[in-house]
Chain A
């Protein structure tokens, strides 16, 4: 149990285009989902916390208009990188916290975004 599916696993896009990344909890409901960014050999940097049915809470320094988060259901959250630039190239990871099960969080497989 506790499987989180993230799609796509890898994407290459042109500068100026937008990319959508999906995060699904397959066998549990998740009131809260988290989006992280990870640079090589670095830890996870929390970008935003999304709660189902409400606006996401963004960490300081993260542009909410650039990284659009939608958490429309208890099993799906999406991150859209708008007007992508090469500096947005990174590894993006989502995690989901099962509703009512404590503070454990389960992670997706990650998405490697390359902007050319």
Chain B
């Protein structure tokens, strides 16, 4: 079983739709959760960063973490064609007590928002 599972899509929605992207994970030690957006042939761009369980909102984006279910989500409201990209979830844990470990990535979900 992979550390992080993410449906690769592709996902295609009309402009204005609410988009829901999800990842599940197996390592209960993960405490730090991130969502990245990657446009074609570009490096990933950090969208949201969340520590432990709960919700975080930033403009049209909302990140949710449910540690009990080992499930994280990213919601995009009022989606725009410019949101068309690949969205990668990533997570990390502390190792050896206080040292920050590496990031574990999902495969990425390819999203297309059509006008």
Contacts and interface: CB of A to CB of B under 8 A. Distances in A.
B88 interface: yes
A93 B102 contact: no
A53 to B, nearest CB: 16
Contacts of B44: 44, 93, 95, 107
Interface stretch (A14-22, A61-69, A70-78, A98-106): A98-106
B17 interface: no
B103 A103 contact: yes
A106 B37 CA distance: 12
Nearest to B101: A103
B49 A104 contact: yes
A103 B46 contact: no
Interface residues of A, number: 25
Interface string B30-50: 001010100001111110010
Interface stretch (B62-70, B76-84, B105-113): B105-113
Nearest to A111: B43
B73 interface: no
Interface string A1-42: 010101000000000000000000000000010100000011
User: Which 8 residue pairs spanning A and B have beta carbons closest together?
Assistant: A107-B43, A103-B32, A103-B92, A110-B43, A43-B107, A107-B44, A109-B43, A43-B105
Interface of B: 6, 8, 32, 34, 36, 41-46, 49, 51, 88, 92, 100-103, 105-108, 110
Interface of A: 2, 4, 6, 32, 34, 41-44, 46, 49, 91, 93, 95, 97, 102-110, 112
